[in-house]
Amino acid sequence: MKQTLFPILTLLLATRLLAADAPTNSAVQTPAAVGSVAPIETTAAREARLAWWREARFGMFVHFGLYAIPGRGEWVQWEEQIPNEEYAKLADQFNPTSSVTAWVETAKAAGMKYIVLTARHHDGFCLFDDGTNEFTSVKSAAHRDIVKEYITAARKAGLGVGLYYSPLDWRFPGYLSPNVHRQSAEAMRDQYHRQMEELLSNYGKIDILFFDGGEADWLSFGGDWKSAEWKKRPAGQHYKGGFSWQHDKVYNMIRRLQPQVIINGRADMPEDLHSREGDWAGGNFDNQHPWEHCLTLAGAWGYQKTAHPKPLNDCLHYLINAAGRDGNLLLNVGPAPDGQIDPAQAKRLREMGDWLGKYGASIYGTRGGPFLPGDYGVSTFRDKTIYVHILKWPGDKLVLPAIPAKVIRATALTGGEAAVTQTEAGIEISVPAANRNATDTIIEIQLDQSAGAIALTEVPAAKK
Ligand code: GLC
């Protein structure tokens, strides 16, 4: 393992200085440039295309690949600087025995409505058939087209089907220094275009494409060369070299082959949804630009032997907070080398499903609002019903601001009697202490008119 990537890195460090001064090339793709070739779609048509995904609210992210074998996360090759040839040997051991239908069953049991599987991560190993390319699960010890099996199983179960794909591939020095290793960068681009065409043509309908590492600002290594840290280029220091991913061609191909597919925004293409990433990175309320919060259920994205699932309460709060901010939650599992989701993680997911079995009406098919998130928690609504999710009681009662609609009925979904009074000053809610729910006290409020017509309203913090 002493034979690391460092010799390459040192060479690239020298070339990076040259690369930084490379002339600007107008062929560099920008979202605006790509947007100009995109087919025109009305806002209403776009909303209709995304409607199923908005209603779904909750999906499963699956990171699976060779990195499951060492069990130290999906960045193991980069972080431990494992040479390509050595890492590639893992394919001889890659032989998951369990069926992917177990992923689908677990997702269903969790109340998830779609799955996004890593068709190919940064290490370049494909979980699909890529013709003569040897570095795939089809040519590994497993001899399995995992993408195909997964899509067949997920479709059968009625779940939405998503694929994660990384245009960048660590095996190509052209990724690290596209200005110097231009041929390598172009070979990597050819691979990207070819593999996208395969994924979009050979597996039936694809519902979601989750790109990662395809933005020009990830090119040419924005991080610190002395450590293995890899960062996006800092704001204002855009990649200005001459290499282009030619995402416009891919984008046109996507729209031709899979007109309905929903695309996240990490490949400098017009985005349908925005990815927010990491623990507590749920961010602000936004009901204008569709977004999804992705994070891991346990440790790294790829399998980590030592990782434990997050507490149930945290998992549910991530979901409730996403819905109340008008976004989705994509919760990740990294199956073990045999393909199984760690039993403790599968159990946690089933517990989430149990909660959704009881209170799913307050999450699925709702939109965030009309009360904006605050110290108290969040609110969601559907038609004439508002669900107030009280995650933290401000005191004896919660006071919501006045709204121009009449409260007809109010019920505590999580048990007990809710006392709800509407005055000109606002809506007061109280529930006996014994009936407050430690995770979320949900109050269902029926109005005399559509909650969607009510303007979004801040909920002032309770006076101390
Ligand atoms: C990051 C990581 C990657 C992971 C992804 C999930 O970009 O590089 O390993 O797959 O986030 O969103």
Query: Secondary structure of the chain: what % helix, strand, coil (to 5)?
Result: 30, 20, 50
Query: Which residue is associated with the tokens 């005055």?
Result: 423
Which atom in ligand 1 lies closest to the alpha carbon of residue 294? Answer: 12
- The alpha carbon of 334 and the centre of ligand 1 are apart by a number of angstroms equal to 12
Domain boundary among 362, 397, 430: 362
| Domain C-terminal end among 321, 342, 362 | 362
| Nearest atom within ligand 1 for CA of residue 266 | 7
**Same domain? 338 vs 412:** no
- Looking at the chain, how many residues does it have? 464
Question: What is the number of the ligand 1 atom nearest to the C-alpha of 164?
Answer: 10
Helices (H), 327-459: 343-359
The residue contributing the CA closest to ligand 1 atom 10 is 301
Secondary structure of 16-76 in HEC code, one letter for each residue: HHHHHCCCCCCCCCCHHHHHCCCCCCCHHHHHHHHHHHHHHCEEEEECCCHHHCCCECCCH
> End of a domain among 345, 362, 379?
362
User: In terms of domains, do 233 and 328 share one?
Assistant: yes
Q: Give the pairing type, strands 407-412 and 441-447.
A: antiparallel
Confidence of residue 16 (pLDDT cuts 50, 70, 90): very low
402 has a pLDDT exceeding 80: yes
Q: Is residue 459 part of a domain?
A: no
Q: Are residues 40 and 120 in the same domain?
A: yes
55 and 11 in one domain?
Answer: yes
244-295 residue pLDDT tens: 999 999 999 999 999 999 999 899 999 999 999 999 888 999 999 999 999 9
Q: What is the mean pLDDT of residues 305-334?
A: 97
For residue 464, the model assigns a pLDDT of 66
- For a mutational test of ligand 1's pocket, the pick from 301, 303, 330, 332, i.e. the residue with the most ligand atoms closer than 8 A to its C-beta, is 301
Mean pLDDT of 195-217: 96
Average pLDDT over residues 434-457: 97
Residue 212 Cα to ligand 1 midpoint, Å, equals 7
Evaluate: CB of 277 within 6 angstroms of ligand 1.
yes
- Identify the helix (H) or strand (E) that includes residue 378: strand 377-382
Q: State the CATH number of the domain containing residue 376.
A: 2.60.40.1180
Q: Give the count of alpha carbons within 13 A of 306, CB side only.
A: 3
Instruction: DSSP letter for 457, please.
Output: B
Ligand 1 centroid – CA 332 distance (Å): 11
Alpha-carbon gap, residue 210 to 256, rounded angstroms: 18
Same structural domain for residues 356 and 374?
Answer: no
Q: In which band, very low, low, confident or very high, does the pLDDT at 40 lie, cut at 50, 70 and 90? A: confident
Binding site membership of 112 for ligand 1 (Cβ less than 6 Å): no
Give the global pTM: 0.91
Query: What's the pLDDT at 21?
Result: 24
Place of tokens 């400098």: 268
Q: What is the mean pLDDT of residues 382-404?
A: 97
Segment 112-123 mean pLDDT: 98
- Cβ atoms of residues 95 and 141 within 8 Å: yes
What percent of the chain is predicted at pLDDT more than 70? Answer: 89
Position with higher pLDDT, 11 vs 378:
378
Instruction: Give residue 74 CA to ligand 1 midpoint distance, Å.
Output: 8
Residue 357 sits in which domain range? 6-362
Question: 164, 277, 291: which to mutate for ligand 1, most atoms within 8 A of CB?
Answer: 277
Tell how far the Cα of 285 is from the centroid of ligand 1, in angstroms. 23
Q: For the domain that residue 273 is a member of, what is the CATH number?
A: 3.20.20.80
CA 5 to centroid of ligand 1, rounded, Å: 21
Report the atom number in ligand 1 closest to the C-alpha of 73.
Answer: 9
Taking the C-alpha atoms of residue 316 and residue 322, their distance in angstroms, rounded to an integer, is 10
Q: Is the pLDDT of residue 187 over 80?
A: yes
- Beta-bridge mates of residue 164: 118, 210
- Give distance in angstroms: CA of 195 to centre of ligand 1: 19
Q: Is 207 in the pocket of ligand 1 (CB under 6 A)?
A: no
Listing DSSP states for 131-150 in one string gives TT-SSBTTTSTT---HHHHH
Q: Do 62 and 127 share a domain, yes or no? A: yes
> What is the token pair recorded at 374?
């605050």
Q: Is the CB of 212 under 6 A from ligand 1?
A: yes
Name the pairing type of β-strands 385-390 and 441-447. Answer: antiparallel
* Nearest atom (ligand 1) to Cα of 122: 9
Is 79 a pocket residue for ligand 1 (Cβ < 6 Å)?
no
Q: 369 with 456: CB under 8 angstroms?
A: yes
Which residues are 390's β-sheet partners? 377, 441
Q: Are residues 325 and 399 in the same domain?
A: no
Compute the average pLDDT of residues 97-110. Answer: 97
Q: Are residues 167 and 262 in the same domain?
A: yes
| 378 bridge partner residues | 389
Q: Is 464 within the bounds of a domain?
A: no
Residue 463 confidence (pLDDT): 74
